Amino acid sequence: MQRYFVNQSANDNCFTISNDDYHHIVRVMRMKKGDRLICVDSMKSSAICSIVEITDEKVIAEVVKWEEESSELPINITIVSGLPKGDKLEWIIQKGTELGAHRFIPFISARSVVKWDEKKGAKKIERWQKIAKEAAEQSHRTSLPEVMSPQNIKLLIKASEGYDYRLIAFEEDAKRGEKSVLGKTLTEIKHGQSLMIVFGPEGGLTDQEVTLFCEHGFQSCGLGPRILRTETAPLYALSAVSYHFELME
């Protein structure tokens, strides 16, 4: 059943769907009156709905049944990715959303080849957020991940202050065989707490960046014995979290 995020609460037990989602329902899915879909409201509650009216600009869907189960990870994970080349960040956002990430922060790292253009930035962020929305709908999320604008290391450290746990995926630790920090963190973290994990760009994080992060409460960790690509490492971490909290329990 197709899922749509509706930025409102149900009014008289009905949702009004317009704009891009209206187009998708009517032009792409070719739904008709009586067809069912799932609406997720502004409070992150989802409901099975039945289409009761289709006009030239909107679809009215009436709530049939509110869903009680949630597909969200029990901890809030923020993925910080050093700005990579090409469409790798889009891949990270799409797949990371499917795996349960709560927020994405692009990181302007010393070794980021891509240079951030503020003038063109708004359109890129809009595209990234759209990718997250579509992936959240596809994977039946009840929460829409936030994609923030790229930040330098000082802003990132400031933004990390409210997190319960903070990690850096550092390939030099992987080379040295470090394999306890991530596992220990997952054992300690409780449901409802938050975790930020920083991943470097293609060239990795510099020693200076790692030192600065660690001076501000981050822990450096390895992700197994293999060296992972910048677009693979976040997915490895999210999969490990999912296994620990959703399969082991």
Q: Is there a domain that residue 92 lies in?
A: yes
Q: Is there a domain that residue 111 lies in?
A: yes
Count of domains for the chain: 2
> What pLDDT, on the 0 to 100 scale, is given for residue 69?
83
Q: What is the pLDDT of residues 106-119, one digit of tens each?
A: 999 999 988 888 88
Q: Is there a domain that residue 189 lies in?
A: yes
Looking at the fold, whether 29 and 87 belong to one and the same domain comes out as: no
**Between 103 and 1, where is the model more confident?**
103
- CATH code, domain carrying 18: 2.40.240.20
Residue 176, class by beta-carbon neighbours within 10 Å (0-12 exposed, 13-18 middle, 19+ buried)? exposed
- CATH code, domain carrying 206: 3.40.1280.10
d(CA 249, CA 247): 5
Is this prediction's pTM over 0.85?
yes
Looking at the fold, whether 204 and 89 belong to one and the same domain comes out as: yes
Looking at the fold, whether 119 and 233 belong to one and the same domain comes out as: yes
Average pLDDT, rounded, for the chain = 92
Looking at the fold, whether 99 and 220 belong to one and the same domain comes out as: yes
Looking at the fold, whether 36 and 98 belong to one and the same domain comes out as: no
Looking at the fold, whether 109 and 19 belong to one and the same domain comes out as: no
Looking at the fold, whether 189 and 148 belong to one and the same domain comes out as: yes
Q: Is there a domain that residue 144 lies in?
A: yes
Domain with 15 in it: 3-66
Looking at the fold, whether 88 and 144 belong to one and the same domain comes out as: yes
> What pLDDT, on the 0 to 100 scale, is given for residue 117?
82
Report how far apart, in Å, the C-alpha atoms of 152 and of each of 55, 102, 108, 115 are: 46, 20, 5, 12
11 DSSP assignment: B
Residue 201, class by beta-carbon neighbours within 10 Å (0-12 exposed, 13-18 middle, 19+ buried)? buried
Looking at the fold, whether 99 and 46 belong to one and the same domain comes out as: no
Q: Is there a domain that residue 71 lies in?
A: no
